[in-house]
Amino acid sequence: MKTDVAEISMNLYNKKNAEYFSHARTEIEPLLPKEKGLPLRALEIGCAEGHTLAWLKRTGYCNWVAGVEPYAELGANVDAIDQFFKLDIEKGFPNIPPASIDLILCLDVLEHLIDPWKTIRRLDGLLKPGGTLIISLPNIRNYHVLFDLAFRGKFSYSESGILDRTHLRFFTRATAIELAESAGATVTAVVGTETSRWQKRMLGAIGLRDLIAKQFLLSATKPGPTPRIEIR
């Protein structure tokens, strides 16, 4: 009997604690378009319960938001989400017109996919020229992972974090940039999430700041002029 790797991974993902899906990813705010109040359209892949999309609408960044999620339900955010697609992005695709989205979010989702490069290429078709793609990916070059592998011979999966047992793909800063740019977009910002200021200063001084980053947030822009937006 053939084993479906993606199905096994998604079953494990579906069993995660509810807290994993229950907060808005407000740390992406520095990477968002600066102008609020414009009629921007956003699509989030792996939107969970829709908290980030609801936050984007509530704070005025977007006036139309849609989400894709195979398992979680929108719950209290159902009225804030304009369109919801309950599907596995590698087995289906949202029915959205090409080149109609200003902002696409893939936050903590691409590492769970068998072929995230294919997904990025397909999503690029939905993004307007000048549109923004924001992704987050775990950093396999983190010193905790490297130390355990080099000195303890361990590569131990866990319930969450960099070596989450549902992760199928692993990235460094360089390969995260390659993924974000794989459909032709240009990365405009990369932010590493760190937890220690003294480690940040010390390792940053010798060019090794990436070793303390647990994940990277990347913003990429699709080539072409930003479309003129008409306020109605």
Asked if residue 162 lies in contact with residue 143, where contact means CB atoms within 8 angstroms, the answer is: no
pTM of the model: 0.84
Q: Over the chain (232 residues), what is each successive 10-residue block's mean pLDDT?
A: 48 50 87 79 96 94 95 82 95 95 97 98 97 97 92 92 95 97 96 68 62 94 66 30
- d(C-alpha 4, C-alpha 1), whole Å: 10
User: Token pair of 220, please?
Assistant: 């990429």
CATH code of the domain in which 32 resides = 3.40.50.150
Q: Is 128 a member of any domain?
A: yes
CA Rg, the chain, in Å?
18
pLDDT at 196: 57
pLDDT at 165: 94
Q: Domain range for residue 132? A: 5-137+173-193+217-221
220 φ, ψ (degrees, to nearest 5)? -130, 145
User: Token pair of 115, please?
Assistant: 């072929």
Q: Is 52 a member of any domain?
A: yes
Asked if residue 90 lies in contact with residue 114, where contact means CB atoms within 8 angstroms, the answer is: yes
Structure-token match 């974090």, residue found: 161
Q: Is 187 a member of any domain?
A: yes
pLDDT at 76: 78
Q: Is 159 a member of any domain?
A: no
pLDDT at 215: 95
Q: Which residues, in sequence order, are CB contacts of 194 under 8 Å at separation 6+? A: 200, 209, 212, 213, 214
CA dihedral angle for residue 207, residue 30, residue 96, residue 8, rounded to 10 degrees:
50
User: Token pair of 65, please?
Assistant: 């938001």
Q: Of 87, 95, 90, 105, which is closest to residue 42 (Cα–Cα)?
A: 105
Q: Is 189 a member of any domain?
A: yes
Describe the strand order of the beta sheet including 101-107 as a list of residue ranges: 83-85, 64-68, 41-45, 101-107, 127-138, 215-221, 186-193
Tally of structural domains, the chain? 1
Q: Is 19 a member of any domain?
A: yes
Q: Is 203 a member of any domain?
A: no
Q: Is 146 a member of any domain?
A: no
Which 3 state secondary structure label does DSSP give 97? Answer: coil
Amino acid (one-letter) located at 126: L
Amino acid (one-letter) located at 167: H
Per DSSP bridges, beta strands 41-45 and 64-68 are parallel
Structure-token match 């000048």, residue found: 130
132 φ, ψ (degrees, to nearest 5)? -115, 135
pLDDT at 231: 33
Asked if residue 137 lies in contact with residue 111, where contact means CB atoms within 8 angstroms, the answer is: yes
